[in-house]
Homo-oligomer: A and B are copies of this chain.
Amino acid sequence: MTSDLRVALLGQGFMGKAHSNAFCQAGHFYDLPYRLRRTLLCGRDAASLERMASRWGWEETSTDWRTAIDRPDIDIVDIALPNHLHAPAAIAAAEAGKIVFCEKPLAMTAEEGRRMVEAARGRPTLVWFNYRRVPAIAYARQLIDEGRIGQVFHYNAAYKQQWGADTSRAATWRMDPAQAGSGVADDLMTHLLDTALYLNGRIREVVADARTIAPNREIDDAVTALVRFENGSAGTFEATRFAIGAKNQNTFHLHGARGMLRFNLERLNHLEVVDATVPSTEQGPRDLLVTDLKHPIFGNFWRPGHIIGYEHTFIATVAEFLECLARDVPFHPSFEDALVTQQALEAMLISSKTRQWTDVSAS
């Protein structure tokens, strides 16, 4: 007997579409322990809301996200609102006893994040750092856990997009500091930090340099940072929307005593691996197409070599959450995990202002 979980989705933008798709598709590819019902879609624009609800099979709509909190039949509140609404919505949902899903970044500030963690203590939470469910990244983690990479020396991460350089684009809430908090920091650097946390653990210290490049813009267009990790490794981070030539290059390079890992989101079915324990003549980056049935996640979808895309990371995220829920084990990344990322981000933003190395735990 599979019981139902009724979902309310707050938000009707691009992420709302990605989440809707995940709720539709999870049961097609996974044997889910619960049946997800797309019960309520909340958004401010009534006209487009109806269209979206109809398209994606949401049973009801509301133009006030608080409806989701107030309705006792809603089990999961999924927040895909602009950043400044994450904390109020998540805290309200948690206090109403809901399971809470929240888009990244967790919050506008670490302090806000701490209040969210506090409010949700004991509740199952999920933050949509969906790239943990890229099969290649999950497999990278597996290789690290198996000791295949050894002591890490270097961790480099960069998230490069170019659309920020197009100043003719209509402004969205992402360009408004009051709604977004920061620019590439909150939007892209948080992705890098969550992946780094997942693969290489916590960051101890940072020095960062945030820049606004476009005239008259109020949020950061590019952030660079040097970091030191708690495990002794060090590296460079960069997030930018002014990287002409880069559509969606979310990359990491990781060098350890026993091998190397390299990844690029634009070719997310691939992971490059060097095994430095084989004879030197045989060492070189192996370009793995992470589409084997024995690779993590991929086997739920298609046959070897039949690649998947961006949306599948959302499907796997929700499916794994439900599995954790059924088995009563913690899901990651939770609010707590996302708070660690938020603290590292905040240290970067402080460092960029003070022009000093900044301790992450102190932020």
Whether the pair B285, A287 counts as a contact (CB closer than 8 A) is yes
**Once bound together, how far apart are the Cα atoms of A218 and B107, in whole Å?**
44
A112 interface hit (Cβ, 8 Å):
no
Q: Which of A93-101, A117-125, A302-310, A319-327 contacts B (4 or more CB under 8 A)?
A: A302-310
Whether the pair A282, B289 counts as a contact (CB closer than 8 A) is no
**Once bound together, how far apart are the Cα atoms of A259 and B310, in whole Å?**
26
Q: Which of A61-69, A76-84, A236-244, A337-345 contacts B (4 or more CB under 8 A)?
A: A236-244
Whether the pair B245, A276 counts as a contact (CB closer than 8 A) is yes
Distance to closest chain B CB from A111 (angstroms): 26
Chain B contacts for A268, CB-based, 8 A: 307
A197 interface hit (Cβ, 8 Å):
no
CB within 8 Å of B: which A299-336 residues: 301-312
**Once bound together, how far apart are the Cα atoms of A163 and B255, in whole Å?**
13
Asked if A211 meets B238 with Cβ closer than 8 Å, knowing A153-B244, A245-B274, A282-B286, the reply is no
Q: Which of A4-12, A40-48, A168-176, A221-229 contacts B (4 or more CB under 8 A)?
A: A221-229
Contact pick for A304, options B27, B247, B270, CB 8 Å: B247
Distance to closest chain B CB from A4 (angstroms): 15
A204 interface hit (Cβ, 8 Å):
no
Chain B's closest residue to A213 (CB) is B153
Chain B contacts for A234, CB-based, 8 A: 209, 211, 222, 224
Chain B's closest residue to A211 (CB) is B234
A37 interface hit (Cβ, 8 Å):
no
Whether the pair A153, B286 counts as a contact (CB closer than 8 A) is no
Whether the pair B139, A165 counts as a contact (CB closer than 8 A) is no
Chain B contacts for A284, CB-based, 8 A: 273, 286-289
A248 interface hit (Cβ, 8 Å):
yes
- When all copies of this chain in the complex are counted, the total is 4
**Once bound together, how far apart are the Cα atoms of A310 and B14, in whole Å?**
22
Contact pick for A209, options B56, B228, B281, B303, CB 8 Å: B228
Asked if A24 meets B24 with Cβ closer than 8 Å, knowing A153-B240, A153-B244, A236-B224, the reply is yes
Chain B contacts for A55, CB-based, 8 A: 27-28
A283 interface hit (Cβ, 8 Å):
yes
Whether the pair B266, A244 counts as a contact (CB closer than 8 A) is no
**Once bound together, how far apart are the Cα atoms of A225 and B162, in whole Å?**
23
Asked if A246 meets B222 with Cβ closer than 8 Å, knowing A28-B24, A306-B309, the reply is no
Chain B contacts for A286, CB-based, 8 A: 282, 284-287
Instruction: Point out which of A228, A265, A302 has the most chain B C-beta atoms below 10 A from its C-beta.
Output: A302
**Once bound together, how far apart are the Cα atoms of A137 and B307, in whole Å?**
16
A235 interface hit (Cβ, 8 Å):
yes
A258 interface hit (Cβ, 8 Å):
yes
Whether the pair B310, A307 counts as a contact (CB closer than 8 A) is yes
Contacts A153-B244, A236-B238 aside, 14 further interface pairs with beta carbons under 8 A come to: A25-B25, A153-B240, A154-B240, A207-B226, A209-B226, A211-B234, A244-B257, A246-B260, A267-B269, A273-B284, A280-B292, A286-B286, A301-B311, A302-B309
Q: Name 17 interchain pairs, CB-CB below 8 A, sorted by A.
A: A14-B303, A20-B28, A153-B222, A161-B305, A162-B255, A162-B276, A224-B235, A236-B238, A244-B255, A244-B274, A245-B260, A267-B270, A281-B288, A281-B294, A285-B287, A308-B309, A308-B310
